[in-house]
Amino acid sequence: MNILAVATSDYIGFMLLVAMLFSSRIRRTDEKHPEFKIFTTISILTMVACVIDFVSFYVDGNTMPGMKLVNILTNTYCFMANPLFVASWCLYEDLKLYHSMSRVKRIYTYAFIPAVLMAVIALINMFYPIIFTVDSQNVYHRLPFSYTYYIVDIGYVFFSIWIYRSYENRYGKIRFFPLFLMLGPIILGCAIQVIFYGVSLMWVSTAVGLTAIYMSVQNEFSYLDKLTGLYNRAYLDYMLENSTRERNNLGGIMIDVDYFKDINDTYGHSYGDEALIDVARVLTFAKPDKAVATRFAGDEFIILVKSTKEKELQNIITSIRDELKMFNETEERRYKLSLSLGYSIYEPAHDSIDNFLKRMDDNMYVEKKEKHIR
């Protein structure tokens, strides 16, 4: 064991996470979005583990009074934190992609059982060693059952990949969330640590993975609406400009929330915000892979589809209505969502962006007026 190498790797991991956690972006957003609270918790858990990991190596073999207890406690923390970390990562990923608390309650009531069980076993190990033992000379020894923790970790890694692939298969390619940047360093670090006894790379690898994901999320923020998580007006303008330059036809669907003022006036602005987030979720689940959903302004949204035809836009509208119906039937909200939609196709050879947007808006208001007449 090279204590200097351990200190270096844990220091790098610790400082990466400190820099990330003190970023103003994380502090501003984790108050509104539960997935950022989980990400922050995971990062703190890992940061503490970097310190404790070094302490466990430092005290190993030290026969001074009290060092054996420190050795046991620090290694117990690492074994407890390990499965809880990977389970929490799956929870974060799920919330990041699906934005559904009901889904989380349904799945993670059971998905966390292996992690909690492993944490309990780590506590029991302090009195009945089955994971690791510390001998009379205060030297740490890994026991065969410790490999169960790596098996559980691998299970959660596959679960994480399944969440990612399932989302992609249903809703299309995921932008700004490169899963391999998170899992790659962790898998490699774990593999090296399992093969070479005494090497400590697990927590620094985790810190590198978290930092990589954080950087990707930061890139995403510049083009995202903070409330709904959809792309913002800046990204919409960017797409429209590109379509003009590339001379490609572009389909658009404008969506407006019906009776949105009533939701705000009846239940308060926090419920109005919740309704907008729900609309964003409906649009995300209903649109095909090549379509991009954006928040245009206030309670108005636009879906853009490159190289499309009228029939495809009509199919997307049908999909939105089906997803909206399912949402209203399954989600327990004080309000029922209602949307008015209008579509148009932009032909760059004989059209302008302003006319394209106006046609969408006019068509949407035809439907909205019919609802208010009823």
Distance CA 282, CA 296 (A): 16
Residues in Cβ contact with 224 at an 8 Å cutoff, skipping those fewer than 6 apart: 230, 231, 232, 235
Question: In the chain, at which residue ranges do the beta strands (DSSP E only) sit?
Answer: 132-134, 140-142, 250-257, 291-297, 300-306, 339-346
Stretches where the chain sits below pLDDT 50 are: 26-27, 29-31
The predicted pLDDT at position 373 comes to: 60
Q: Give me the pLDDT at residue 29, please.
A: 47
Cβ-proximal residues to 306 (8 Å cutoff; 6+ apart), any chain: 243, 248, 249, 250, 251, 290
214: left (phi over 0), alpha (psi -120 to 50) or beta: alpha
pLDDT tens by residue, 51-93: 998 999 899 999 999 999 999 999 999 899 989 989 999 999 9
Write a three-state SS string for 309-323.
Answer: CHHHHHHHHHHHHHH
For residue 253, the model assigns a pLDDT of 96
Domains within the chain, CATH numbers bracketed: 3-221 (1.20.1070), 233-373 (3.30.70.270)
N residues, the chain: 374
CA 15 to chain centre: 23
Q: 134: which strand partners?
A: 140
Residue 372: the pLDDT is 65
Tens of pLDDT, residue by residue over 297-306, are 889 999 999 8
- State how far the Cα of 359 lies from the Cα of 274, in Å rounded to an integer: 29
Q: With H, G, I as helix, E, B as strand and everything else as coil, classify residue 140.
A: strand
pLDDT given at position 324? 93
